[in-house]
């Protein structure tokens, strides 16, 4: 699957960007933490173009379930990592993933994973340098994605495998000749989790490891007896 990137770049004189060049060595993932129905990628693009409310705040891309919008060139710094002149601001591409009400979250994650894979290939950035905002500042961000970080990195690996024409390590839990479908799983205490399922022969399958992560449980695999155990 291929997606398109819309450019709505901040002008050079914009007061909410550092105006400094960089060589990107990391990619930093954020959530917008804005659940308002209208908090789309387009709305965040307008927010940045209007000066970020007077704050020194800017990042490179915003992603939702419809759009991928670029705000800064990959080779210029932004103000997004909360680490001042540290590597988060000076050496990383910042990606904000929307989380507004009724958004198809899995589709947004899929678009974001595609974008990350393209940027990794373009700038020769390894998967070990795809990091959450928390890595730089300790902030609990990306708030929606942190509990599913391994799921997200596996999505990136699958895109990279498609680019290279190979199967990623551990992709055996994906049924062959299946199509990907978003699955909203109801969890205890009224919570929900957006997972990536696979449609095969009229049935939807979700990897057990992804369900375990959503429930914040550990998955132990007994290869001898072919038995999975979930524990706290």
Number of Cβ within 10 Å of residue 184's Cβ equals 12
- What is the rounded average pLDDT for all residues in the chain? 88
- Per-residue pLDDT tens over the stretch 83-97: 999 999 999 999 999
Number of Cβ within 10 Å of residue 32's Cβ equals 25
- The backbone torsions φ and ψ at residue 87, rounded to the nearest 5 degrees and listed phi first, read -65, -25
- Per-residue pLDDT tens over the stretch 104-153: 999 999 999 999 999 999 999 999 999 999 999 999 999 999 999 999 99
What pLDDT does 200 receive? 66
Domains and CATH numbers, the chain: 5-164 (3.40.80.10), 179-231 (no CATH)
What's the CA gap between 228 and 209, in Å, rounded?
10
Q: Are strands 68-70 and 61-63 parallel, antiparallel or unpaired?
A: antiparallel
Number of Cβ within 10 Å of residue 81's Cβ equals 26
**Straight-line distance from the first to the last Cα atom of the chain, in angstroms, rounded to the nearest whole number:** 36
- Per-residue pLDDT tens over the stretch 44-64: 999 999 999 999 999 999 999
What pLDDT does 24 receive? 97
List CB contacts of 36: < 8 A, sequence separation 6 or more. 100, 101
Of 129-133, 173-177, 215-219, least confident by mean pLDDT is 173-177
What pLDDT does 170 receive? 42
Q: Are strands 179-186 and 192-200 parallel, antiparallel or unpaired?
A: antiparallel
């Amino acid at each position: 699957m291929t997606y398109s990137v819309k450019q709505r770049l901040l002008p050079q004189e914009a007061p909410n960007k550092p105006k400094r060049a960089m060589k990107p060595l990391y990619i930093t993932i954020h959530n917008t933490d804005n659940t308002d129905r209208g908090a789309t990628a387009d709305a965040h693009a307008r927010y940045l173009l209007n000066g970020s409310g007077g704050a020194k705040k800017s990042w490179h891309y915003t992603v939702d379930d419809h759009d991928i919008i670029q705000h800064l060139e990959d080779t210029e710094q932004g103000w997004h990592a909360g680490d001042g002149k540290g590597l988060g601001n000076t050496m990383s591409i910042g990606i904000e993933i929307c989380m507004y009400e009724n958004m198809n979250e899995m589709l947004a994650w899929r678009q974001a994973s595609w974008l990350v894979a393209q940027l990794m290939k373009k700038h020769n950035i390894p998967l070990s340098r795809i990091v959450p905002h928390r890595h730089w500042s300790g902030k609990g961000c990306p708030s929606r994605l942190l509990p599913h970080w391994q799921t997200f990195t596996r999505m990136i690996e699958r895109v990279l495998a498609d680019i290279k024409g190979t199967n990623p390590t551990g992709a055996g839990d994906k049924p062959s000749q299946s199509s990907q479908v978003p699955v909203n799983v109801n969890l205890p205490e009224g919570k929900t989790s957006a997972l990536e399922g696979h449609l095969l022969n009229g049935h939807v399958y979700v990897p057990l490891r992804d369900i375990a992560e959503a429930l914040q449980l550990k998955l132990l695999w007994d290869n001898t007896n072919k038995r999975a155990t979930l524990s706290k």
